[in-house]
């Protein structure tokens, strides 16, 4: 499934543009969390990435 809605990391506004925010020019990302799976192969990598983000 393709998510069309994007959220600006800088100002928090929502847009359909995929490259940058039309209001402030900030980076945009998909605001939806990934689909949950009990057989997730990449869980350890995602958890390590979250730990690193908290340290910085």
- Domains recognised in the chain with CATH numbers: 6-55 (2.20.28.40)
pLDDT bin (cut points 50, 70, 90) of residue 20 is very high
Element (H, E) at 20: none
Q: What's the pLDDT band for 8 if we cut at 50, 70, 90? A: very high
Q: Is the pLDDT of residue 4 over 90?
A: no
User: Residue 38, CB half-sphere, CA atoms under 13 Å: how many?
Assistant: 0
Q: Kindly give the residue spans of alpha helices, DSSP state H, lying in the chain.
A: 43-55
Q: Where does the pLDDT of residue 54 fall: very low under 50, low under 70, confident under 90, or very high at 90 and above?
A: confident
pTM of the model: 0.59
Q: Which pLDDT does position 11 carry in this prediction?
A: 94
Structure confidence at residue 1 (pLDDT): 54
CB atoms within 10 A of CB 31: 13
């Amino acid at each position: 499934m393709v998510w069309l809605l994007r959220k600006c990391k800088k100002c928090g506004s929502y847009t359909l543009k995929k490259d940058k925010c039309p209001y402030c020019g900030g980076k945009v990302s998909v605001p939806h969390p990934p689909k949950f799976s009990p057989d997730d192969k990449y869980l350890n990598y995602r958890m390590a990435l979250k730990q690193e983000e908290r340290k910085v």
